[in-house]
Amino acid sequence: MKLNWKIWILIFAVIASLLSIFPLNFDKGVEIVSVEQNSTYYNAGLRSGQIITLINDIPINNFNDYKTVINSIFPTTEEVKLTMTSQGNNIILLTNQTPQISVRDIDKTRIKTGLDLSGGARALVSTEEDISSQELADLIAVTDERLNVYGLKDIAIRPVTDLGGKNYMLIEIAGSTPRELEGLISKQGKFEAKIGNETVFSGGEDVTYVARSGERAGIYTCDVSSSGDFCSFRFAITLSDVAAKRHADITAKLGVNTTNPQYLEKKLDLYVDDILVDSLFISKDLKGSRTTQISISGSGSGAARKEAYDDATKNMKKLQTILITGKLPYKLTIEKIDTISPLLGKKFIQTILFSGLAAILAVGLIVFFRYKKLKLSIAVLLTSLCEVLIILGISALFKRNLDLPAIAGIIAAIGTGVDSQIIILDESQMSKTISLRERVKNALFIIFGTYITTLFALLPLIWAGAGLLKGFAITTIIGISAGVFITRPAFSEIVKRILKD
């Protein structure tokens, strides 16, 4: 039997969707998610997106293989030879530390899960004063640079606007916690180094280089105090010529410290957002010196050595980040911040899949008992499944994240799809005074009218709630549009053939 062109369009759309969802590659290994810039591994040639297939000639097929091999080598007190094979290139390192890289299994599909399913933190951020779209774009660029200084991956920063026209910044970081995200974006990050009341240099343009690894940066001592452990950090920076001259002019006016003659009488005070975070002695040899090399130090504390070490590391990275990127151009307010566990996301997907299949099967049974035709019931089931595939295929093609609002949109699209199929079935069973073709045509006219009203009802949701419902709105629009222009016409042809038989 010759197939109608409408059915051929549906078949083509389903095949294209499957090819969009499932990539035709069979690579084995683990994908590098992030590598800290200027680290040993970064300098050796490792980059995010690369695939590691061998470690010390041992095949790496998945994340469990990677974890097993790394755990068999580290921790160790002596340097060992570590050879990583990525895309045919061998990267050889001598180290006694676990590789400071993040890896994951290679994706089996092109479907990208959003924060709701992969886990992490999300914040809706506003500025104290109203800003234009261009000013928001500048803010996003600076924020993105700050968050990416340490090679963070899976960061999404996008502009959103509410129905009142106010601009917001929506930040999502997979694998982060609300507290970490809040610490990264809640402060403006204004860094100033002062001698007395005079500013020597600020973060951003005054600083041309910041050491973040190797001998010029790190934790150099840990001690015990009466209140617990504390660790000290130190890292080198390079000042611009303008800042170096400013340093020379200010120190030239200083005398020698009477208590500690090897230092000048005033310290170099470090402020972040106008809060004093540390004070450094200035060597008397630097008096009037136009030096560009400055050493920044600080500390961290904790109840135990590990907590103090981690706190010092966190404080050091915060200062390094602010010195590199400079302050944010506006003072920010976090309107909403939340998180979700990846385990909850996986359970939610399983529940949704089970519920969705159960609902589709239930609809199929109802159609069977209502119309007493098994072929019609199967047609409804297959059409609904085709709609889901097309929605997922379009999402994968345009790299749209599958998050909770998007899943809700898929469910809504399935619901409207079933409604439309019932309309076609009911209209096809109406009075025989008009032809089957005309009855189906009337049904499609009703469906198209419903589509137009639903489409206009969904459009405001793209901006409502500062864009938090955007995923639901767009996914639903994709679903109902694919239904009206692809699956409904094909389903109507299938119904006509079944009824004629």
Distance, C-alpha 41 to centroid of its chain = 23
What's the rounded Cα separation, in Å, for the pair 41 and 43?
Answer: 5
- For residue 177, pLDDT over 80 is answered with no
Helical residues (DSSP H) of 75-132, grouped into ranges? 115-118
| Cis preceding linkage at 159, omega within 30 | no
What's the rounded Cα separation, in Å, for the pair 389 and 14?
Answer: 7
- Three-state secondary structure call for residue 162: coil
Count of all residues that appear for the chain in the document: 501
Distance, C-alpha 247 to centroid of its chain = 41
What's the rounded Cα separation, in Å, for the pair 395 and 112?
Answer: 8
Decide the pairing of beta strands 112-113 and 401-402: parallel
- For residue 341, pLDDT over 80 is answered with no
- For residue 55, pLDDT over 80 is answered with yes
Name residues whose C-beta falls within 8 Å of residue 321's C-beta, 6 or more positions apart in sequence: 146, 149, 150, 189
What's the rounded Cα separation, in Å, for the pair 73 and 492?
Answer: 63
Q: How does pLDDT run across 96-132, given as a tens digit for each residue?
A: 878 878 788 887 788 777 666 666 677 888 887 888 8
- Taking alpha carbons only, the member of 326, 324, 299 closest to residue 313 is 299
Assigned token pair, 226: 């009466």
- For residue 150, pLDDT over 50 is answered with no
Bridge partners for 174 per DSSP: 120
- Taking alpha carbons only, the member of 55, 152, 48 closest to residue 104 is 48
Kindly report the three-state secondary structure assignment for every residue of 29-40: CEEEEEECCCCH
Taken in order of first residue, the domains within the chain and their CATH numbers are: 5-23+342-500 (1.20.1640.10), 30-105 (2.30.42.10), 120-187+335-340 (3.30.70.3400), 191-316 (no CATH)
Q: How does pLDDT run across 409-456, given as a tens digit for each residue?
A: 888 888 888 888 888 888 887 766 677 788 888 888 889 988 999 999
In angstroms, the first-to-last Cα distance of the chain is 12
Query: Phi first, then psi: what are they for 343, rounded to 5°?
Result: -65, -40
Q: Which pTM does this prediction carry?
A: 0.58
Which residue is associated with the tokens 């996301």?
345
Name residues whose C-beta falls within 8 Å of residue 500's C-beta, 6 or more positions apart in sequence: 436
Name residues whose C-beta falls within 8 Å of residue 434's C-beta, 6 or more positions apart in sequence: none
- Three-state secondary structure call for residue 347: helix
What's the rounded Cα separation, in Å, for the pair 233 and 93?
Answer: 25
Q: How does pLDDT run across 7-50, given as a tens digit for each residue?
A: 899 999 999 999 988 877 677 888 887 776 556 777 777 887 78
Task: Tell me what pLDDT residue 151 has.
Answer: 45
Q: How does pLDDT run across 4-18, given as a tens digit for each residue?
A: 888 899 999 999 999
Task: Tell me what pLDDT residue 98 has.
Answer: 80
Task: Tell me what pLDDT residue 1 has.
Answer: 53
- For residue 481, pLDDT over 90 is answered with yes
Name residues whose C-beta falls within 8 Å of residue 422's C-beta, 6 or more positions apart in sequence: 367
Assigned token pair, 265: 């009488």
Task: Tell me what pLDDT residue 145 has.
Answer: 65
Average pLDDT over residues 390-409: 83
What's the rounded Cα separation, in Å, for the pair 217 and 197?
Answer: 28
- Taking alpha carbons only, the member of 118, 272, 295 closest to residue 183 is 272
What share of the chain in percent tops pLDDT 90? 9
Name residues whose C-beta falls within 8 Å of residue 27's C-beta, 6 or more positions apart in sequence: 51, 106
What's the rounded Cα separation, in Å, for the pair 74 and 398?
Answer: 41
What's the rounded Cα separation, in Å, for the pair 186 and 179?
Answer: 10
CB-CB contact of 162 with 464 (8 Å): yes
CA dihedral 194, 197, 199, 200 (to 10 degrees): -60
